[in-house]
Amino acid sequence: MESLSPTRATLFLAVTGLGAAVLVSWFFLTKRRRSLRKVGEVSHLFLYPIKSCRGTSIPEAECKPFGLQSGNLKDRHWLVVKENKVHVTARQEPQMVLITASCDKDKLTLRAPEMEHLQIPLKLPSSNGIFTCKVHGNEVCGRDCGDKASQWITSFLKSKEVYRLVQFEDNMKPRNPKNEYEKYTDHDKVAYPDLSPLLLMSEASVDNLNTKLQKMVTIRNFRPNIVVTGCEAHEEDSWEEVQIGTSVTLKRVMPCPRCILTTVNPDTGVIDMKEPLETMRSYRLHNPLDQGIFKTSPLFGQYVRIQQTGIIKVGDPVYQITY
């Protein structure tokens, strides 16, 4: 190989050195610096085993791809359906919010006022049929929990139509909320929640709403999974990404569009049909550019996707992630 002259060698080294410097500069300029700013603490964790039924307040939970889990109790992994397999919620049956589900070893236990409690196996027999159900028009499977569960729920709700309870199993195909809202992606998957596996909101948002109401509501009217204290009202709207504790990270997808379910009293199961929905509409409507997405629904709380799983505890610090 022909050797380089001193002048050419110097030029070569200068050019390659400049190229290396450019590459190093590019690397540091494009590498995002992650910083954490504490914005509050977790004040409550709620898990809703049966969609639209009473939530369970828990001190800690596993944050898993399909949402919160406490022992064998999983968030919105059971669903009430009609005979045509369309889901039933407290919008149609407000008394559903009085049904409590808990786990006793390998059983799901149902309780409700003036009803004998009922136990259902968590591991359902393979002979129980699998139904294709519809949640907001989107298909998802569920295994039938049996005739006793059907009779129990139908009896408590005093329904003329027969209702059935189904369970989502880990090997079943989940729903893709992208079919309902374009803000989701092909990678977003849920079992029976409306949209995201988690709903996050602040105590301050509810406190602020109560200053505008004649009859106050509680955080339970809004059925969140994670409640944050120590921040300003609706500050959660600006958290594009948060870390809870040392590991769990969540990314905001979209605000939660609210409906008449917020008007169901969680202690009595009585539906008001007006408040707090009408008051929320007076100051929590969407940006006009999003009218086609949210229509007349006021926005309250944030749907988030789970980016990093882990353990969440009441009292954990909540950090806003910025780059």
Domain parsing of the chain, residue ranges = 35-322
Q: Residue 233 in contact with residue 312, Cβ under 8 Å?
A: no
Of 96, 163, 107, 160, nearest in space to 133 by CA: 163
Question: Which pLDDT value is given to residue 34?
Answer: 87
Give the pLDDT score at 33: 85
Locus of tokens 């004998």: 116
Alpha-carbon span 281 to 304, nearest angstrom: 22
pLDDT of residue 11: 47
For position 104, what pLDDT does the model report? 83
- 3-class secondary-structure state, position 69: strand
d(CA 99, CA 89): 12
What are 96-127's pLDDT values in tens digits? 999 999 998 899 999 999 999 999 999 999 99
Residues written for the chain? 323
pLDDT in tens, 12-54: 444 455 555 544 444 444 456 889 999 999 999 999 999 999 9
| DSSP E strand boundaries for the chain | 35-47, 56-57, 60-64, 67-70, 73-74, 78-81, 100-104, 107-111, 118-121, 130-135, 138-144, 164-167, 198-202, 226-229, 241-244, 248-257, 299-308, 310-313, 317-322
Phi, psi at 266, each rounded to 5°:
-70, -15
DSSP code of residue 5: P
To the question of domain 35-322 being in CATH 3.40.640.10, the answer is no
Structure tokens at 76: 């919105």
70 pLDDT above the threshold of 50:
yes
Nearby residues of 286 by Cβ (< 8 Å), 6 or more positions away: 255, 257, 293, 294, 297, 299
Phi, psi of 287 (to 5 degrees): -65, 135
Three-class DSSP category at 288: helix
- The pLDDT tens digits of the residues spanning 131-190 come to 999 998 899 999 999 999 999 999 999 999 999 999 999 899 999 998 888 889 988 999
Mean pLDDT of the chain: 91
162 and 154 Cβ atoms separated by less than 8 Å: yes
The pLDDT value given to residue 59? 98
Rg (CA), the chain: 25
Which pLDDT score is estimated for 182? 84
